[in-house]
């Protein structure tokens, strides 16, 4: 009889851990290939090529992929301080929506009075404030009455969606379409301008700045230290005199603010419209990004790029091979499964032991 | 066969947990009608070994013989069938049932339950061995020692001939301990074998016939108690000579640091956990706090540290310069911001005093991270402090970046105590400072406390081992049910006096 022993590792050299993860990705591609052949009879290499070309095949496609991954990255960065504090903020969706909603409102109502140079700062401030409020409400209740933040933030998402639905009634364009349409499509007022020729230049600058800033904030600032202590042990935090209520509210204000800003980036820099699907599930996908990266904002750059890359590729294989878009979700799912699986092998050691069976009986 | 004299014989028992060898080829014999103590420091494998006898763990290697026959114990049921009964540190009783109901719980029976017969059988056991038990009393009305009695009778009722007790005296007062020992001696006289796990040397010496010693999972040897002394046993346990003297100096330059008056705390269920406590603590002395677990020790220290809400009373703090400040109305943040050097080593080291997943440097930072106006933290000062402590207190760690959770209990406590002392406190409160520590680390901690006392710090020390409190402290405050039942001079009092004070108010309440 042989037995399997699973025990936790004490740590692993970085290179070895990277190797395990790479092997995981390679294995996942092999499994995907088998699945592709089994289900569609297509040549898997062709399918992989199509995913590539869909995501980065042309310069336009590449930029769309970059833009969308930066937006996803922005939401993930917003979630990070909350998660680091063990505050399960699954309300990024709503915080993004509220930021986008305020941005759209400023664009619509401000178009007759202001130019883009005035509109943008107003939109930024408004969206940050809106996201902040949306994050602060559950934080306030958590801090004072210890309500469950998971349910609370989740429900705030639906409230945000209802508010958008309500606003669309007023902002409908054209009338009767039940959509807002492209806001200021002729004047482009309130649209995020290009930066030295790059359409999405500002998005790149802002989000990469946030990536670096959040990394430093969590690692080197006193507030970041307080977040870690509160997250690891609220008792310890109280013991050393950290004001736990204040930290919870401050951190969620920050988390919501960045998510709200992401809403601004979507509306002003990408979609130029608002609907209940403006956030598009990014608030939830960002949770995967944050966790897979173990809250390291630089790793998040890679992960969000990968997820958006697969998403863009999905569209391509759907049209090129006449497949359902779900086909690529299957591929993404398999790859994610292997990546998560390799984390297990990085953290745990498995030993196979042969045990001789003695004839001990009573 | 000679083996017939042995109730239990263990041969080359090995048990591994992952890469940790908890028991390494342990051999042990228990004779019929004897009390065998198993002595060893924390983590030496005592409980693991006994858990293999009671069927909780299964040995990786080795053989077990009961009454001379080789047996396999794969479950607690097998263990019962062999007449082995274990009394764990944490009781497994149903609160709303009576003692008798708990005793028969889980036993097979006929359709009609004849409680009278059960009571009669229990009464028989109680009288035979000199227990003190009312079979119809509900568990929730019982004291800790009564609950322990129920557990012991439970295994006797099931016909256990070999009893294993895991640190049975940890929760008892000296008087209760004496009663338990008397009962155990009666059982020995009746031919039953008793194994008692403990790390209190004087109990080993007064109770057992033989002592088996384990060290780091290895079996060191068994000695006749009559040939052993505290020193010889400690040497076997630790592997080297240890000086068991605590150097207590006479208190000098006593200055009042704390005046606690009528301090009262109420828990969320509206039960009074601390009842009008009044006492003073002086710089230059160690004030011990004794009491049965849960008598208000935690609440008292946390109320002073600003972590527990107080409903009544005051905590006047007298700094070396300036006037007194009332801390009772202030929380920990306010106390910190006032710049008061109040150090506190809480009972829950990794859950309160330290952050287990952070490294030593970051844990050093906990107290002082907020100093200065800089937005960013300064990690250089705490890193120097960490390196300094590692060297001075001989903390065993791979480096300053190892998470403190990975350190052993003694080293964790050195990190915590070291940090608290490094802020040059005027008042130092420690709760159960040596719990779970090996002997060498314990004496390091005692010496640190004495050093602080000589520096003029007011040291308040909550302890559970009365022998240590008597040797270490200058005065001992005894808590009972949230009230202070007495403050005695540690140099002149006796264990018996403290034991009586520990149960004082409890008895008064019952008489009312």
Is it the case that residue A198 has pLDDT exceeding 80? yes
- Please state which of the ranges A220-229, A286-295, B101-110 shows the lowest mean pLDDT: B101-110
Write down the pLDDT at residue A3. Answer: 63
Contact B348, B409 (CB under 8 A): no
Is A47 contained in some domain? no
Write down the pLDDT at residue A226. Answer: 96
Our CA dihedral for A271, A275, A276, A280, rounded to 10 degrees, sits at -10
Q: Smallest Cβ distance to B370: which of A7, A222, A232? A: A222
Q: Smallest Cβ distance to B355: which of A8, A10, A232? A: A232
**What span, in angstroms and rounded, lies between the C-alpha atoms of B136 and B107?**
18
Same domain, A211 and A301: yes
Same domain, B333 and B363: no
Same domain, A215 and A146: yes
Highest mean pLDDT among A10-24, A123-137, A315-329, B125-139: A123-137
Size of interface A-B (CB pairs under 8 A): 75
B350 min Cα distance to partner chain A (Å): 8
* Domain final position from B393, B423, B453: B423
Is B248 contained in some domain? no
Interface of A with B in 216-235 (CB under 8 A): 220-223, 225-226, 228-229, 232-233, 235
Please tell me the total count of domains within chain B: 3
Is B316 contained in some domain? yes
Residue in chain A nearest B73 by alpha carbon:
A362
Q: What are phi and psi of A353, to 5 degrees?
A: -125, 140
Segments in chain B below pLDDT 70 = 1-4, 505-512
Mutation site, B375, B383, B416, interface A, largest A CB count within 10 A: B375
Please tell me the total count of domains within chain A: 2
Chain A residues in contact with B365 by the CB 8 A cut-off are 225
Can you give the residue range of the structural domain that contains A18?
1-42+321-362
- Length of chain B in terms of residues written: 512
Mutation site, A84, A213, A224, A239, interface B, largest B CB count within 10 A: A239
Same domain, A35 and A148: no
Q: What is the pTM of this model?
A: 0.80
Strands (E), B192-271: 193-198, 210-215, 218-224, 255-266
| Span A315-329, average pLDDT | 79
Same domain, B122 and B56: yes
Report ipTM (2 d.p.).
0.81
- Specify the DSSP class assigned to residue B295: S
Same domain, B326 and B466: yes
Write down the pLDDT at residue A357. Answer: 43
Write down the pLDDT at residue B3. Answer: 47
3-state per-residue secondary structure call for B405-433: HHCCHHHHHHHHHHHHHHCCCCEEEEECC
**What span, in angstroms and rounded, lies between the C-alpha atoms of B386 and B414?**
11
Q: How confident is the model at residue A1 (pLDDT cuts 50, 70, 90)?
A: very low
Chain A residues in contact with B355 by the CB 8 A cut-off are 228-229, 232-233, 236
**What span, in angstroms and rounded, lies between the C-alpha atoms of A80 and A282?**
14
* Domain final position from B187, B207, B238: B238
| Span A191-219, average pLDDT | 92
Inter-chain touch A235–B362, beta carbons under 8 Å: no
Write down the pLDDT at residue A353. Answer: 60
**What span, in angstroms and rounded, lies between the C-alpha atoms of A72 and B74?**
54
CATH number reported for the structural domain that contains residue A301 in this entry: 1.10.3470.10
Chain B residues in contact with A221 by the CB 8 A cut-off are 375-377
Q: Smallest Cβ distance to A243: which of B333, B348, B376? A: B333
**What span, in angstroms and rounded, lies between the C-alpha atoms of B504 and B500?**
6
Residue A242 burial (CB count, 10 A):
23
Can you give the residue range of the structural domain that contains B73?
2-238
Write down the pLDDT at residue A2. Answer: 55
Q: Does A60 touch chain B (CB under 8 A)?
A: no
Chain B residues in contact with A5 by the CB 8 A cut-off are 18
Mutation site, B22, B327, B333, B423, interface A, largest A CB count within 10 A: B333
Q: How confident is the model at residue A96 (pLDDT cuts 50, 70, 90)?
A: very high
Same domain, B73 and B126: yes
Surface-to-core class of residue A277, CB atoms within 10 Å of its CB (0-12 exposed, 13-18 middle, 19+ buried): exposed
Chain B residues in contact with A145 by the CB 8 A cut-off are none
Same domain, A257 and A354: no
Is it the case that residue A171 has pLDDT exceeding 70? yes
Is A331 contained in some domain? yes
Is it the case that residue A211 has pLDDT exceeding 60? yes
Displacement of CA A181 from its chain's centroid (Å): 25
């Amino acid at each position: 009889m042989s037995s399997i022993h699973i025990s936790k590792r004490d740590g692993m050299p970085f290179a070895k851990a990277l190797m395990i993860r790479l092997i995981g990705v390679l294995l996942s591609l092999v499994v995907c290939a088998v699945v592709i052949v089994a289900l569609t009879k297509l040549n898997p290499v062709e399918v992989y090529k199509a995913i590539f070309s869909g995501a980065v095949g042309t310069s336009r496609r590449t930029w769309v992929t970059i833009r969308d991954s930066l937006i996803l990255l922005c939401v993930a960065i917003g979630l990070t301080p909350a998660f680091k504090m063990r505050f399960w903020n699954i309300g990024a969706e709503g915080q993004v929506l509220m930021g986008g909603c305020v941005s759209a409102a400023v664009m619509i109502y401000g178009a007759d009075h202001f130019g883009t140079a005035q509109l943008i700062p107003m939109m930024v401030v408004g969206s940050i404030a809106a996201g902040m409020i949306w994050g602060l409400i559950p934080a306030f209740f958590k801090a004072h009455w210890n309500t469950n933040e998971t349910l609370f933030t989740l429900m705030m998402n639906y409230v945000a969606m209802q508010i958008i639905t309500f606003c669309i009634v007023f902002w409908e364009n054209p009338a009767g379409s039940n959509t807002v349409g492209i806001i200021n499509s002729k004047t482009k007022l309130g649209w995020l301008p290009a930066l030295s020729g790059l359409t999405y230049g500002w998005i790149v600058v802002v989000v990469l700045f946030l990536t670096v800033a959040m990394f430093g904030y969590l690692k080197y600032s006193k507030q970041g230290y307080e977040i870690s202590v509160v997250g690891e042990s609220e008792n310890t935090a109280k013991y050393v005199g950290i004001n736990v209520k204040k930290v919870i509210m401050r951190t969620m204000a920050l988390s919501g603010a960045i998510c709200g800003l992401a809403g601004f980036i979507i509306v002003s820099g990408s979609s130029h419209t608002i609907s209940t699907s403006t956030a598009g599930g990014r608030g939830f996908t960002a949770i995967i990004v944050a966790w897979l990266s173990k809250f390291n904002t630089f790793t998040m750059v890679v992960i969000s790029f990968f997820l958006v890359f697969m998403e863009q590729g999905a569209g391509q294989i759907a049209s090129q091979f006449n497949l359902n878009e779900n086909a690529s979700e299957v591929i993404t799912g398999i790859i994610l499964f292997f990546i998560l699986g390799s984390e297990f092998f990085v953290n745990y050691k498995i030993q196979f032991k042969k045990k001789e069976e003695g004839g001990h009986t009573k | 066969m000679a083996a017939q004299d042995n109730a239990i014989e263990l041969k080359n028992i090995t048990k591994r947990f992952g890469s940790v060898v908890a028991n390494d080829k342990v051999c042990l014999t228990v004779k019929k009608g004897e009390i065998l103590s198993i002595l060893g420091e924390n983590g030496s494998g005592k409980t693991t070994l006994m858990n293999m006898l009671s069927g909780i763990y299964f040995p990786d290697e080795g053989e077990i013989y009961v009454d001379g026959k080789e047996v396999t114990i794969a479950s607690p049921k097998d263990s019962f069938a062999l007449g082995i009964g274990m009394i764990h540190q944490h009781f497994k009783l149903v609160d709303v049932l009576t003692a008798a109901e708990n005793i028969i719980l889980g036993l097979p029976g006929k359709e009609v339950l004849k409680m009278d017969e059960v009571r009669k059988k229990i009464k028989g056991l109680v009288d035979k061995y000199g227990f003190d038990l009312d079979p119809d009393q509900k568990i929730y009305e019982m004291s800790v020692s009564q609950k322990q009695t129920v557990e012991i009778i439970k295994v006797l009722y099931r016909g256990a001939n070999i009893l294993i007790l895991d640190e049975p005296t940890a929760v008892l007062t000296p008087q209760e301990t004496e009663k338990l020992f008397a009962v155990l001696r009666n059982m020995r006289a009746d031919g039953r074998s008793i194994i008692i796990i403990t790390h209190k040397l004087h109990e080993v010496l007064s109770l057992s016939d033989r002592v088996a010693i384990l060290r780091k999972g290895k079996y060191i040897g068994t000695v006749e108690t009559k040939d052993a002394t505290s020193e010889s046993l400690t040497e076997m346990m630790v592997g080297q000579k240890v000086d068991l003297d605590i150097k207590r100096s006479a208190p000098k330059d006593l200055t009042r640091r704390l005046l606690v008056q009528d301090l009262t705390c109420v828990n969320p269920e509206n039960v009074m956990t601390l009842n009008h406590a009044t006492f003073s603590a002086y710089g230059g002395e160690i004030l011990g706090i004794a009491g049965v677990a849960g008598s208000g020790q935690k609440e008292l220290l946390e109320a002073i540290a600003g972590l527990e809400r107080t409903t009544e009373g005051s905590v006047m703090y007298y700094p070396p310069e300036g006037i007194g400040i009332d801390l009772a109305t202030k929380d920990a943040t306010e106390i910190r911001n006032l710049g008061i050097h109040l150090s506190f080593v809480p009972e829950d080291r990794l859950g309160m005093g330290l952050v287990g997943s952070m490294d030593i440097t970051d844990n050093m930072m906990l107290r002082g991270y907020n100093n200065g106006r800089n937005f960013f933290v300064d990690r250089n000062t705490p890193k120097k402090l960490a390196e300094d402590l590692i060297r001075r207190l001989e903390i065993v760690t791979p480096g300053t970046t190892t998470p403190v959770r990975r350190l052993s209990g003694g080293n964790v406590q050195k990190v915590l105590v070291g940090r608290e002392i490094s802020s040059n406190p005027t008042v130092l409160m420690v709760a159960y400072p040596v719990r779970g520590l090996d002997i060498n680390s314990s004496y390091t901690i005692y010496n640190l406390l004495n050093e602080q006392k000589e520096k003029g710090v007011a040291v308040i020390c909550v302890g559970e081992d009365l022998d240590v409190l008597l040797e270490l402290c200058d005065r001992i405050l005894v808590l009972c049910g949230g009230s202070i039942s007495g403050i005695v001079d540690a140099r002149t009092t006796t264990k018996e006096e403290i034991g009586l004070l520990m149960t004082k108010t409890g008895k008064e309440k019952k008489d009312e």
